[in-house]
Amino acid sequence: MAVLQTNKLEKHFDGVYAIDGLSIEVPKAAITSIIGPNGSGKTTLINVLSGMLDIDGGSIVLDGIRLSRFKSHEIPMYGLTRTFQEVRLFNQMTVLDNILVVLTERNVFSALFERHSNLHFMRTEELLKKINLWEKRNELAGNLSYGQRKLIEIARALAMEAQIYLLDEPFAGLFPEMLKVVVDIVKELKTRGKTVVLIEHNMDLIRELSDYVFVMDSGKLLADGKPNEVLNKREVIEAYLGE
């Protein structure tokens, strides 16, 4: 059963099509990976799916609801959240407050002055312990390493309690021990019945985690199917692996 679909989706910039008539169906409660060479349109697709960019043609169907135009601040209404290639945190706030802001489900300015409940603090402690950063809770987010900051962004996504998680290169730049933490989180999301969409370049991780794979090239769908089947296709090897 598809929880997320694109129907002849288009996005172009000055006449250049970053997404060119893309139609895909993302299965519910599964881990789906989107792969392809640099410039193939993967991140543009995530940006469109999360309302960061407007749709220029076609539509998105999210859990049965057809969407042709929506904004990023509306995506929590549809049970969807995302992470970014480049980490986006409130650098001058503590690690703790970066999570609490999300848990309040209000804008950042209101959240700063809200009296947080014990439930908020308990959930924040749970999330920071999950990513092994509870001891860093009172440090400014901007002072942490890239990998630690990336883990915080993933924790912020978890705090949303969404149904669909769009994770844009969540493993990039992580040390092995941090990578394992994120792998475990992704697997746990699936066991909880969540839908995960990954952009990833590490083929070993694609094979380990993915239930289904879409391959993009020049904004179009090149191939799709089970990971071992897709990654062995000649056209995928030629386009993505450069052989």
What 3-state DSSP class applies to 78? helix
- 115 φ, ψ (degrees, to nearest 5): -80, 110
Give the domain ranges of the chain: 1-79+163-243, 87-161
CB-based contact 21:222 (threshold 8 Å): no
Q: Is 83 buried (19+), middle (13-18) or exposed (0-12) by CB count in 10 A?
A: buried
- 159 φ, ψ (degrees, to nearest 5): -65, -20
Tokens of 163: 């149904």
- The residue type found at 31 is I
pTM score = 0.90
The DSSP element (H or E) to which 243 belongs, if any, is none
* Cα torsion 177, 178, 183, 184: sign: positive
CATH architecture of 1-79+163-243: 3-Layer(aba) Sandwich (3.40)
pLDDT tens, N- to C-terminus, the chain (243 residues): 789 999 999 999 988 999 999 999 999 999 999 999 888 999 999 999 998 899 999 999 988 888 877 777 777 788 899 998 888 899 999 999 999 888 875 544 444 445 556 788 899 999 999 999 999 999 999 999 999 999 999 999 999 889 999 999 999 889 999 999 999 999 999 999 999 999 998 999 999 999 999 999 999 999 999 999 999 999 888 876 554
